[in-house]
A = this chain, B = another copy of it.
């Protein structure tokens, strides 16, 4: 039985439950009001083995629940924006890709966020200045769909576009699975290692990273589900459930999610998209960006 989590923070917690000190893994934590930022750095191969994660930086931003209040939390937005900006190059075109399946609500975060990111690559320069938008950073946006609908690996589609538009970096947005119900709807993970095979609610099959795309890849994810088998294992203190239900093929697709998952996805998409917009267009204020990208 594999405990399913896409959060490096939870993998580190698991190690610590077992009193193993993960070598080659460093972390620091900052609390600002209701927002907590935890940065985990996997420094070397020992750290990779310990955490089961590629070398790189994994930032978890814990924020007030997205669904508590309709307004975008300014502190949450500021923190996500800052951590994202810190992992991106300061200049050059950025390609933002929203991964996931619009027909599966808990997997729709990526395409929903992509729909709210301001695409500027076609209007940067003269046009934007003429429209009073100042100097816009060139941004391209894709929602490439999922393998079952396209017949093409997401990594392949992105590689094709990267070759064409030669961005300085790629940002991929994806819905994640966490181990803890308490993390649903109040957590954003940002990493400079991209997407590993098997990650995301949709279990993307191929790695999407600097290794496969040839440019820096920053991933942003929000946990939207807990795998039902993982919940059962945790409840049973590390045993598999006797009930065959959760382990048979039909049970395997069972997820735990808040009843208001539709609202959670909308709010999370808004936060992630707006953080991307603010990080990439520092010359525009938050309100202008919201009005330009309203869904």
Contact = CB atoms under 8 A, between A and B. Distances in A.
Contacts of A290: 70
Contacts of A236: 235-236
Nearest to A119: B151
Interface string A89-127: 000000000000001111100000001000111110000
Count class of interface residues, chain A? 35 or more
A165 interface: yes
Contacts of A255: 256-259
B291 A71 contact: yes
A79 interface: no
A104 B259 contact: yes
Q: Within the oligomer, what is the number of copies of this chain?
A: 4
Interface in A198-234: 201, 225, 228, 231-232, 234
A151 B138 contact: yes
Nearest to A239: B235
Interface stretch (A25-33, A41-49, A152-160): A152-160
A149 interface: yes
A120 B160 contact: no
Contacts of A292: 70
A160 B232 CA distance: 44
Interface string A130-154: 0000000011111111011111110
A61 to B, nearest CB: 18
Q: Which of A156, A162, A164, A251: most chain B CB closer than 10 A?
A: A164
Contacts of A16: none
12 contacts: A103-B263, A138-B151, A141-B145, A141-B151, A142-B145, A152-B161, A156-B164, A159-B160, A231-B232, A235-B241, A253-B259, A254-B258
Given A104-B263, A157-B161, A160-B161, 16 more contacts: A70-B291, A70-B292, A105-B261, A105-B262, A119-B151, A120-B151, A122-B151, A123-B151, A159-B164, A160-B164, A181-B246, A181-B254, A236-B236, A254-B258, A255-B258, A257-B257
